[in-house]
A and B are shown apart, each in its own frame.
Chain A
Amino acid sequence: MSAIAPPSAALDTLPGGTAARRRYPVRPQHVLVAVLLVIYPLLATDFWTLQIGAQSLLLGVIALSLMFLAGYGGMVSLAQMTVAGLAAYMMAIFGVSAIPVSLGWPWWVVVPLSLAIATLFATFVGALSVRTEGIYTIMITLAIGMAVFYLAQQNYTVFNGFDGFKGLEPPVLFDVNWRNPLPFYYLCLTVAVLCYFAVLYLSRSTFGLSIQAIRDNPRRMRALGFNVNLHRIAAYAFAGFVAALGGVLSAWYNGRVSPGSIGIHSIIGILIIGVMGGLRHPIGPFVGAIVYVLMQTFAIDFIDRERFNTLIGTVFLLIVLFSSDGLLGLWDGIRRRLTAPRGQRRAVASKEE
């Protein structure tokens, strides 16, 4: 798909060129970002730590799963939020909540069980979607996502219908209430960092390179003997696991899960975050998530709070129209224009059209 530039192009722009790709360079800006992330809660208020920081991180994790499938795999799956929401629902159904339907099992059973069920579901979605051509994937995954939404809304015996579940709490471990801003932020940060480096590592592994090669030319990979469909399904499974992690975190963050969590707005929200940030590099979803959460929180200062959707839709439209890869693409374009020698600047600008 020509709208997504291959991730390897981003690596080419690092100083040092191909040599940099073989090592894992740690540059000053990486260290700065890492330090800032760690000390952030000590500088910010509780609101900024939890509502902005932790929420961006967990939304970023879910969008990271989309980025993995779409950027590296060429498969835009709109079912990632559904997978995350399903994990959250499983947490509510099997664990402790304020609704009688819940089974009340202990967290160390419920969390792995939810992750397993959600990953299984993601594998199932993958198995359904991989045998059709690229653009069909969006349709199929959207249809699956909406079907699950309607099921959760209509069904009362399992999903408790329109109201959903509330009263979901993280367990109290080591005498720490993990829902407090500081511990929860570090929990989200740990999960986000692990997922980020997992995706980065995977992208350079044999599996990840196979997935990218399949994205670029599935026929050639088939001719080389790779089982294309199995690779794709495995990609869905991995992405499903990442999304499920985000879903568990979001269950604890929101304290509740309802059909609205997996409705069309949430589904499209994750797509917007992913595309806005950029589907080319794992940092993209987190950038997109920060922008999205900031807009969501502070839009009421600029426009009528009811019209948030118009704002986000317009921003999304502008980014899709004017950038080939979201904010990361814009940043790359700006950087290229600033660093290219004077005479070549116009050539550089026209090349990225």
Chain B
Amino acid sequence: MARSPARPHAHGGLTSQSRIPNHALHLIIVRLFLLTLLNGLTLGALYFMVASGFTLVFGLMRQVNLAHGSLYLLGGYVGYEVGLASGSWFVGVAAGFASMAVVGLLLQVVLFRHMEGQDLRQTLVTIAISIIAADLMLAHWGGLAYQFDPPEWLFGATPMPLVNAYPTYRLALLATAIVIGLLLWFFLTKTRVGMMIRAGVDDRAILSATGVNVQRVFAITFAIGAGLAGFAGVVGGTALSIAPGEDNRYLLASLVVVIVGGMGSVPGAAIGAVLVGLAEQFGLAYTPTYGIAYTFLIMVLVLAIRPQGILGRPG
């Protein structure tokens, strides 16, 4: 094969009757494990990018934005169109981020701002929006899967020990997630707005009592969260393609990551994303018909032992 496979292929005949010598067998098993590990990490990187926005919004505004998956998908589609029109993948990525940030800002200012304090109502509105958005996107872009082409220098495979080669783009994805994580950490801990957000996650009432324009902080947070989803949509669509139904998949991933990692905690989202990514890939590689069960199991364990999540605050 000229290019290394992007997904692990499960080997069926690993029995002693096969004509593969023992040391080659070990190599195959080790290689499958390492490939699955890498796939899990890169998938976790993608999940982190999507879920970090979700957890910020949930932690600060106590609002479960169930349209988050739709923002991912719409950002992907918009990024694709702009990337196609402009001929540059990076412009597409920027467009995905910017367009969804604007959408998020509009949603917050036009709709959610007037429903302050009514958590259930806001959630129901996000559900309605996600239904309408999913249907309109289906009408406009159809049921096909769109896959973007990354720029040439990200294309192809990188030679790596043991697994021979691994897609360069996925390694870049992992690096991007780490960079985003660091940027978010810097934003939240070193800038004034970031500190306001963290304070708001702790105690919203006191934050507004100190004279901060809480609505503006909300709007910024929602815009960032939505923008991150759109960004992840373009970046993820390059690795894994986007199609109707992907919005639900990434919504589920965000939900589980936040439940596992803890609400409002970006480091928690990182931990949760890695766990969920690994669980999904290992499940898919070793027990394909029960793949989702590992993700489910992690969620159940966390809920049973520590309901507020690994890095969440009790109550």
Contact = CB atoms under 8 A, between A and B. Distances in A.
A249 interface: no
Contact of A309 (B134, B263, B289, B300): B134
Contact of A314 (B132, B248, B258, B290): B132
A154 B135 contact: no
Interface string B110-139: 000000011111011101110110111001
A329 to B, nearest CB: 12
A138 B64 contact: yes
Of the listed residues B127, B293, B299, the one surrounded by the most CB atoms of chain A closer than 10 A to its CB is: B127
B106 interface: no
Contacts of B63: 135
Nearest to A264: B248
B256 interface: yes
A323 to B, nearest CB: 10
Contacts of A136: 259, 263
Contacts of B128: 313-314, 316-317, 320
B289 A154 contact: yes
Contacts of B304: 128
Contacts of A307: 135, 139
Interface in B202-259: 248, 251-252, 255-256, 258-259
B265 to A, nearest CB: 14
Contact of A1 (B120, B288, B308): B120
B62 interface: yes
A146 B132 CA distance: 19
A275 B125 CA distance: 11
A151 B135 contact: no
Interface in A283-340: 306-307, 309-310, 312-314, 316-317, 320-321
A147 B292 contact: yes
Contacts of A144: 296, 299
A105 interface: no
Interface string A190-233: 00000000000000000000000000000000000000000000
A312 B131 contact: yes
Interface string B159-194: 000000000000000000000000000000000000
Contacts of B255: 139, 142-143, 146
A131 B296 contact: no
A310 B289 contact: no
B66 interface: yes
B121 A128 contact: no
A142 to B, nearest CB: 6
A139 B118 CA distance: 16
B295 interface: yes
Contact of B118 (A1, A143, A154, A306): A1
B150 interface: no
A205 to B, nearest CB: 26
Interface in A112-167: 128-129, 131-136, 138-140, 142-144, 146-147, 150-151, 154-157, 161
A268 interface: yes
Contacts of A131: 303, 307
Secondary structure of the B contact surface, majority rule: helix
Contacts of A4: 120
Interface string B283-294: 000001111110
Contact of B135 (A142, A310, A320): A310
A140 B58 CA distance: 14
A314 B292 CA distance: 32
B293 A268 contact: no
A353 to B, nearest CB: 11
Given A135-B62, A138-B123, A155 B289 contact: yes
Nearest to A153: B292
A63 interface: no
Nearest to B307: A131
A142 B259 CA distance: 12
Contacts of A135: 62-64, 119-120, 123
A3 B118 contact: yes
A93 interface: no
B312 to A, nearest CB: 10
Contact of B292 (A134, A154, A313): A154
A344 B62 CA distance: 37
A138 B121 CA distance: 12
Given A1-B119, A128-B300, A321-B125, A154 B290 contact: yes
A271 B120 CA distance: 12
B139 A306 contact: yes
B62 A147 contact: no
A2 interface: yes
A73 B18 CA distance: 60
Contacts of B132: 309-310, 313-314, 317
A143 B307 contact: no
B131 to A, nearest CB: 4
Contact of B299 (A76, A143, A161, A275): A143
B124 A139 contact: no
Contacts of A321: 125
A317 B307 contact: no
Given A2-B121, A139-B64, A310-B132, 6 more contacts: A136-B263, A139-B255, A146-B252, A154-B288, A309-B132, A310-B131
28 contacts: A1-B119, A128-B300, A128-B304, A129-B303, A133-B315, A134-B120, A135-B63, A135-B119, A136-B263, A138-B66, A139-B258, A140-B259, A140-B299, A142-B252, A143-B255, A143-B259, A144-B299, A146-B252, A150-B252, A151-B293, A275-B124, A306-B139, A309-B131, A309-B134, A317-B125, A317-B132, A320-B124, A320-B128
The 5 closest A-B pairs by CB, nearest first: A313-B131, A317-B128, A309-B135, A313-B132, A150-B292
